[in-house]
Chains A and B, each alone.
Chain A
Amino acid sequence: MLQGVLAFVQTWWVELLCAVLIVLVVPLIAGYIVLVERKVMADMQARLGPMRVGPHGLLQPIADAVKLLIKEDLIPDDADKFIFWFAPVLSMTAALTSMGGIAFGPWFQVGRDINIGLLFVVGVSALGPFGIVLGGWASNNHYSIIGAIRSTAQLISYETTAGFALVSGFLLAGTLKVSDIVKAQYTDHVWYVFLAPVGFFTYLIASIAETNRAPFDLPEAESELVAGYMTEYSGFRWSLYFLAEYANMIVVGAVGATLFLGGWLRPFPNVAWLGWVDGLPTLLLAVTGVYCVMRAGKQPVHVQVMFMWAVALVCFLVALIFGVVEFAHLTSSAAFLSQHPVQLLRSMYDGLYGAFWFLLKVSAYIYIFMWLRFTLPRFRFDQLMRLGWHILIPLALVNVIAVGIMLALMSSLGWNRWLAALLTTLGTLVVGMLLIRWNDKHAAAASGSIATDNTQVEDSYAG
C-alpha cells in the first residue's frame, strides 16, 4: 500500500506540486491582482490608491485577508443553510479545477497530456454559474435572486460566443491539447491572434462577460442591486466568491494567452537574431531586486523591511536561474553545461522561463480587463443580451466559417497565409458592421416602444 503511494508520488510529483501550488498560491495571487486593480484604478482616477499598509500598499491584500477571515459568519434567518454553504464552495471549486487544465509553462500543468486540453478548462468553468444562481437563491432575498438569475443568463449566453471564438483558434491549431497548441504556434512561426484577430477580440469581449466584469457587471452593480447575488455573503464566504471571480479572470486570460497569444513562447520565438529578448526577463528581475534592496532600508516598519527583502530575494533567485542558464547557452561550452548544478538550474529554468512570458501575457490580458472597467459605463441588461445574441454569436459563427475558408484557401489552393487571413478577416469585419447596423435599427425600434403605453389616467394638473 505504501509502495503504491510512493510510486504514485514519484511518477506524478510535478502534477501534484502544481496542484498544491494552485490551491495555495492562487488565492494569494488573486489578492494581489485586487491590489493591482486598485492601484490601476487609482492611477486612472488621478489618485494614489492603497498606500498605508505596507510599502505603497503592498501588504494590503494580507490585511484584507486577515480581516475577512476574522469576520462574523452571518447566515440570514430564512436562508437555506446547506445551499448557502455549498454555493461559494462550488464556485471556488469550479474555478480552481479549471485551472488544472491550463499550462503555465511547458512543465506547469496539472492535467498534462489530457486529450481535451482547453475544452476541459472551458467545460469545467461552465460550472461557475451554478455557484452564482444557487448563492442568489439561498440568500432568500429579492435582490439576490434577481442578480443571480441575471448573472447566470449572462454567463450562459456568452459561453456560446466564447466557445465559437475558441473554435476558430482550435481550427488553426488543429488540436485541443494545450502543449500541442503552443507547439503549433511555434512551428507555424506566428501567434494565432494575427491569423484570427476577430476570434481573439470576440473571445476578449466574451470573456469579459463571462467573468462578470465591467462593462458587463450589471449583476454586481452596486448602484442597483447592492451586490446582487453576493449581497448576503460576508467574511470568508464572500471571499470565496471574490477569489472565484479573480481566479476565473486568470483562467480566461490563460486560455486566451495559450490559444491566441503564443502561450509560453517569447515574442518571435523562431527569429534567431532576436535571441537577446531572452535576456530581458533576467534584466527586469535583477533591476526589480536591486530596487527593492534600495528601498528596503527606507521602510518605516520592520515587517515592511522584511517584506522588501523577501521580494528582492525571490527576484534575485529567479534572475540567477535565468542568468546562469542563458550565460551557459551563450558560451555554449559543453563542459560548463554538463556540470551538475548547471543541469539542476537548467531544469528549473525550463520550468520557469516559459512561465514568465505566460504570466506576462496573462497580466496584459487582465490589464485590458481593468482598463475597460474604469473607462466604460455599464450595459443595461437587455442591451447586454442583445449584444451577445444578436451581434457576437453571429459574428463568432461567421468567424469560424471564415477561418475554415482561410485554411481551405491555404491548404488546397496554396494561398499565402497572410493574404488569406487578411481577406477572411476583412470579410468577417464587413459582416460585423452589417450586424451592428441592423441591430441599431432594431434596437431603436425596440426602445422606442417602451414609453408609449402611458395608459393611466392621471391628473397632472393637480397640485
Chain B
Amino acid sequence: MLDSIVFYFFAGVAVLSALLMVTRRNAIHSAVFLITTLLSTAGIFLQLHAEFLFIAQIILYVGGIMVLFIFVIMLVRLDVPLPQIRSPLRQWTAIFVAFVVFGEGVYIVWKSRLVPGHGLLVLNPYPSDKLPPNTENLAKSLFSFYLLPFEIASVLLLVAMIGAVVMGKKRANTP
C-alpha cells in the first residue's frame, strides 16, 4: 500500500511538472519544472530498486544536463525571435507524425493490456525487491560483456568534448 502511495505521488508530480513545463511562457520556469519532472522519474526508479539508475539520473541529467540548459537559457538572448518559416507543409507533417506516434503508443499499451506477459510488451516477471544489487551487476556486465561498446562510447564522448572545446576556443588572432 505504501508502494502505491509513493508511486502515485512521484507519478503525479512528474505528470504535473511535465504539463507545467510545456505551458510556461518563461523559459527558466520551464527548466525548473523539467528538473522536478526528472527528479520524480528518478524517484520512481528508486522505488523500483534501481538505485544506480536513480543516482545516475540525478547526477547526470539533473546535475549536468539541466545545469547546461539553464546556463544556455540565461546566457543566450531569447527575446530575439528565431526566423520561423511558417509553411503549411511543415505544420501538417508535424501534426501527422504526432498522431502516428500517439497511435502507436495507444496500440502498444492496448495490446499488452490484453494478455499480461505476452503481447508487444513482455514484462519482466522478476519481483523488483528480489533483484540482485543494481550497481554491482551493472559494473560487472559493463566491464566484462559490454566492455567494447562501453569504451567506444567513452571515446565518442571524448571526441565530443574535444570538439566542443575547439569550437568554443577564443578566436584570439582574428580581427
Contacts and interface: CB of A to CB of B under 8 A. Distances in A.
Given A126-B59, A130-B70, A156-B67, A115 B51 contact: yes
Given A4-B2, A83-B29, A115-B134, A127 B62 contact: yes
A176 interface: yes
Contacts of B134: 115-116
A127 B63 contact: yes
B32 interface: yes
Contacts of A86: 32
Interface magnitude class on chain B: 20 to 34
A123 B71 contact: no
A8 interface: yes
Contacts of A246: none
A151 to B, nearest CB: 12
A206 interface: no
Given A123-B59, A123-B63, A116 B135 contact: yes
Interface string A221-232: 000000000000
Contacts of A4: 1-2
Contacts of A124: 58
Contact of A130 (B1, B35, B52, B59): B35
Nearest to B35: A130
B48 interface: no
A120 B2 contact: no
Nearest to B31: A134
B51 A116 contact: yes
B74 A123 contact: no
B58 A114 contact: no
Given A114-B51, A152-B67, A8 B59 contact: no
B11 interface: no
Task: Give the interface SS of chain A, mostly helix, strand, loop or mixed.
Answer: helix
A115 B58 contact: no
Task: Give the interface SS of chain B, mostly helix, strand, loop or mixed.
Answer: helix
A154 to B, nearest CB: 12
Contacts of B93: none
B133 A129 contact: no
B18 interface: no
A286 interface: no
Interface in B45-59: 51-52, 54-55, 58-59
Interface string A110-149: 0000111001101110110110011001000000010001
A4 B3 CA distance: 12
Contacts of B59: 122-123, 126
B56 to A, nearest CB: 8
B28 interface: yes
A82 interface: yes
Given A116-B51, A126-B63, A176 B135 contact: yes
B138 to A, nearest CB: 11
A228 B99 CA distance: 48
Interface in B35-80: 35, 51-52, 54-55, 58-59, 62-64, 66-67, 70-71, 74-75
A149 B71 contact: yes
B1 to A, nearest CB: 5
Nearest to B2: A8
A320 B121 CA distance: 62
Given A116-B55, A119-B55, A123-B55, A80 B71 contact: no
18 contacts: A82-B29, A83-B32, A86-B32, A116-B52, A116-B135, A119-B135, A123-B55, A129-B67, A130-B35, A130-B67, A133-B70, A134-B28, A134-B32, A137-B74, A149-B74, A152-B71, A156-B63, A159-B63
Given A116-B52, A130-B70, 20 more contacts: A8-B2, A80-B28, A82-B32, A83-B32, A86-B32, A115-B51, A119-B135, A120-B55, A122-B59, A123-B58, A123-B63, A126-B58, A126-B59, A127-B58, A127-B62, A129-B67, A133-B74, A137-B74, A145-B74, A152-B71
